[in-house]
A = this chain, B = another copy of it.
């Protein structure tokens, strides 16, 4: 439904651009939210984008548009905009978003912009650029409401009216001591309900969650989600309040991390490659298929080893796909459950043995079920009970091993602090393929005596 709206908007704007209907365009552009315009921009050429950008009258909307553009689109767009204008828009944006944008630019361009920005703002932006992108420091906003604990409710309201216009989400008021250290928190809501002369220290809560600048952004996001708060204060090593991470950034982190996990598990790198060119997309995906290629070649040598047996009983080969497929699929199930469980916190690495044992049990039960079914097909087709038993046992061992490997590898990776999502990708599937095929031929040649 919402996609439909975007589609209609894109179509209307393209039509108006073709007809060069300036008046209409100006009207529609100024009635559209910057976030929606950023979606439209995806379908337009740079020249068209610039034409629309210049029509936007509200500088806040221009800023929203900038910050909502796809990764990589900002540097291309601003090539056609004068430096003065860019700086003016950036000056009206939240500092953390400015830092994100400037971080995408080549050094020369970003230096020029930082130089032109107002001294104070530029310092803040430069400060943010020093933190690692994926940490609390890298995503925090250095504009927040910090007051001394002696401040009265009335004074706090006055300071909001006079000073804190540039704060992005002023819903929490942080109390700090003379050294800028975080001592408590109160909310805008409390401010309006307490008597005007009451002091912050008397109504604030001293139970304040905070995170350090170096904390991984995913951890920060989990804290905000767990405690249902709208922002979390960020402190340096000495507990000095240096910024806040707001809930809108937390949403972005969760969406980004989920996408990254999914892509890694499918072996497509970490970044979303859809918007990339064919060549770039090929280059990113090529190495991930290497594991599968090497694994396949190893499986080739394993089977070659049994060439004599296949010559005698050619139908042995016909069961290779079903045995590999059953192992591969249950292995994917197991590793997905473990990776996602670790990501959402429902599984803990200390539960490794319990989880692995459970997966192994599930693998055995499902293996017995499908082993029986596939063995039955073998029996009906060839009426050789030893062949049927071999195929059945091969399915059981393939599925049990797959469930074991699929759960133990991501758990082990998590223990040594390697991202388990990577482990759950092509590596596990490939390992399972090789083991499955080997077990199958070992069992079959032994039982059939060839």
Interface residues of A (CB under 8 A from B): 1-3, 6-7, 33, 35-36, 39, 68, 70, 157, 160-161, 169-171, 188-189, 191-193, 215-216, 219, 222-228, 230, 247-248, 250-252, 254-255, 258-259, 261-263, 265-268, 272-275, 278, 281-282, 285-286, 288-289, 292-293, 295-297, 299-301, 303-304, 307-308, 310-311, 314-326, 328-330, 332-333, 335-338, 340-341, 344-350, 355, 358, 361-362, 365-366, 369-370, 373-374, 377, 381, 426, 429-430, 433-434, 437
Q: How far is the CB of A169 from chain B (nearest CB, A)?
A: 8
Query: Are A429 and B329 within 8 A (Cβ)?
Result: yes
Task: Across the interface, name the chain B residue whose C-beta is closest to A254.
Answer: B254
Query: Are B303 and A318 within 8 A (Cβ)?
Result: yes
Query: Are A2 and B219 within 8 A (Cβ)?
Result: yes
Contact of A374 among B296, B307, B335, B426 (CB under 8 A): B296
Contact of A278 among B191, B268, B293, B358 (CB under 8 A): B358
Residues of B within 8 A of A273 (CB): 337
**Contact A318 B293, CB 8 Å, known A192-B188, A225-B251, A274-B337:** no
Residues of B within 8 A of A216 (CB): 1
Query: Are B282 and A366 within 8 A (Cβ)?
Result: yes
**Contact A35 B227, CB 8 Å, known A189-B170, A192-B188:** yes
Contact of A320 among B35, B263, B315, B321 (CB under 8 A): B321
Query: Are B307 and A318 within 8 A (Cβ)?
Result: yes
Query: Are A263 and B325 within 8 A (Cβ)?
Result: no
Number of copies: 2
CA distance A125 to B145 in the complex (A): 37
Residues of B within 8 A of A316 (CB): 317
Residues of B within 8 A of A314 (CB): 307-308, 310-311, 314, 317
Query: Are B322 and A297 within 8 A (Cβ)?
Result: yes
Contact of A247 among B230, B307, B335 (CB under 8 A): B230
**Contact A304 B318, CB 8 Å, known A225-B252, A282-B366, A337-B273:** yes
At the interface, is chain A mostly helix, strand, loop or mixed?
helix
Contact of A262 among B215, B265, B274 (CB under 8 A): B265
Give the most central of A285, A315, A321, A333: most B CB within 10 Å.
A321
Query: Are A358 and B3 within 8 A (Cβ)?
Result: no
Residues of B within 8 A of A335 (CB): 266
**Contact A285 B362, CB 8 Å, known A261-B262, A437-B321:** yes
Query: Are A332 and B267 within 8 A (Cβ)?
Result: yes
Query: Are A318 and B300 within 8 A (Cβ)?
Result: yes
Query: Are A7 and B348 within 8 A (Cβ)?
Result: yes
CA distance A117 to B426 in the complex (A): 54
Residues of B within 8 A of A251 (CB): 224-225, 247, 250-251, 254
Contact of A329 among B2, B35, B267, B361 (CB under 8 A): B267
**Contact A319 B300, CB 8 Å, known A227-B35, A289-B370, A293-B370:** yes
**Contact A326 B278, CB 8 Å, known A299-B321, A310-B310:** no
CA distance A77 to B369 in the complex (A): 35
Query: Are A322 and B340 within 8 A (Cβ)?
Result: no
Residues of B within 8 A of A254 (CB): 251, 254-255, 258
Residues of B within 8 A of A266 (CB): 332-333, 335-337
Given contacts A247-B247, A282-B362, A329-B429, 16 further A-B contacts (CB under 8 A): A70-B346, A224-B251, A225-B248, A255-B344, A258-B258, A258-B262, A259-B340, A266-B332, A282-B365, A289-B333, A295-B321, A295-B322, A300-B318, A300-B322, A307-B315, A311-B314
CA distance A361 to B361 in the complex (A): 42
Q: How far is the CB of A52 from chain B (nearest CB, A)?
A: 18
Query: Are A296 and B322 within 8 A (Cβ)?
Result: yes
Contact of A230 among B230, B252, B355 (CB under 8 A): B230
Q: How far is the CB of A381 from chain B (nearest CB, A)?
A: 7
List 8 A–B pairs whose Cβ atoms lie within 8 Å, in order of A's numbering.
A1-B219, A261-B262, A266-B337, A278-B365, A288-B329, A297-B374, A299-B318, A325-B430
Task: Across the interface, name the chain B residue whose C-beta is closest to A249.
Answer: B228
Contact of A348 among B3, B169, B310, B430 (CB under 8 A): B3
